Amino acid sequence: MEQERERNGRLCCLCSGRAALRRPKTLQQLCRECFFRVFEDEIHQVIVSNGLFTRGERVAIGASGGKDSTVLAYVLAKLNQTHDYGLHLFLLSVDEGITGYRDDSLETVHRNQIQYGLPLKVVSYKDLYGWTMDEIVATIGKKNNCTFCGVFRRQALDRGAALLKVDKLVTGHNADDIAETVLLNILRGDIARLSRCTSITTGEDGPIPRCKPFKYTYEKEIVMYAYFKRLDYFSTECIYSPNAYRGFAREFIKDLERLRPRAVLDIIRSGENFRISTTAKMPEQGTCERCGYISSQKWCKACVLLDGLNRGLPKLGIGRSHGVIGASRDRNERNGGKTIESKQCGTLDF
């Protein structure tokens, strides 16, 4: 058999046809069709085994135009039809207002809308918060800008999902992303996030749960799938995030993966097996008094950051914000009661 493989070149380990690739996760030699089938079957099993969806649900797919969300939209639409999930799928995009990056990627999303036949909803930072990321970066510089974008984007997705009246929101977070998050939360000592960062579904106690069907799917395999399927996606990185802290964790994991391909899954499994001490004080979830969004403080992080921007103090909400809200309110009361209630932020209408 080995001699036959040498004569015919690399053979697919499943069908004995000519292999086209080696799977990064298992190092198996596979032809394209077998790779497509295995890739899709694994995602289907993750969906079924974790009970991610219920028949008839409205599901929004967080679509950025990048490889992860594009492959997610394509595969989910295909599985929904093949396995008759009975889901009503929508594309949901966030326009952060980044010239030369998001405007170009949104053109890809609009093409995906036509290619996959899925309705599209776009929400923007400018409409929701009164600021674009270009304007924020012009105000604060390129340091800490990811803090603003991450907080605003999360809330913008929830607001868009509320407008679509969906039951679930799915994102293209892959195995590499989750492994990076586990390491980052360990490095930061963030017990609260460490306890839930490996969950395949989060926000179940909130208005719109979020699911990650790609939890065990390697980034390299998503790239391979998109390449061999010739999917239309946008591959340029955000112009404001080359020095993001997450990048250091990403490079470390890539080094580990070169030595041990299953290192990514090992980190995820380790995160799943963490047990938080019962003596650890966890933040209590409530709602923001300003906008109604989920928050463990009186004001959510987005409202604190927005307050700083609108008052010309953009660094006000950077880092830990304990005490900031109370002090801010005292100053506002002394200044005639003008608060961020008069600023454009909107409310969450759930």
> Residues comprising the binding site?
62-64, 68, 94, 172, 177
Residue ranges with strand state E in the chain: 21-22, 29-30, 58-62, 88-95, 120-124, 168-170, 201-202, 210-211, 286-287, 294-295
Length of the chain: 350
Q: In Å, what is the CA distance from 63 to each residue of 91, 97, 102, 263, 319?
A: 6, 15, 11, 28, 29
H helix runs in 50-141, sequence order: 67-82, 102-116, 125-129, 133-140
Give the whole-angstrom CA distance, residue 184 versus residue 127: 32
Give the whole-angstrom CA distance, residue 286 versus residue 293: 8
Q: Percent helix, strand and coil across the chain, each rounded to 5?
A: 50, 10, 40
Place of tokens 């950077």: 318
Question: Which two structure tokens, joined as six digits, stand for 175?
Answer: 């195995």
**N-terminal to C-terminal alpha carbon distance within the chain:** 62
CA torsion sign, 300 to 301 to 302 to 305?
positive
Residues in binding site for ATP: 62-64, 68, 94, 172, 177
Residue 131 in 3-state DSSP?
A: coil
Place of tokens 């803090």: 147
Burial 99-132 (b: 16+ CB within 10 A, else e): eebbeebbebbeebbeebebebbbbbbbebbebb
Place of tokens 């990403």: 250
Place of tokens 């800008």: 145
Q: Output phi, psi for 55, to 5 deg.
A: -55, 135
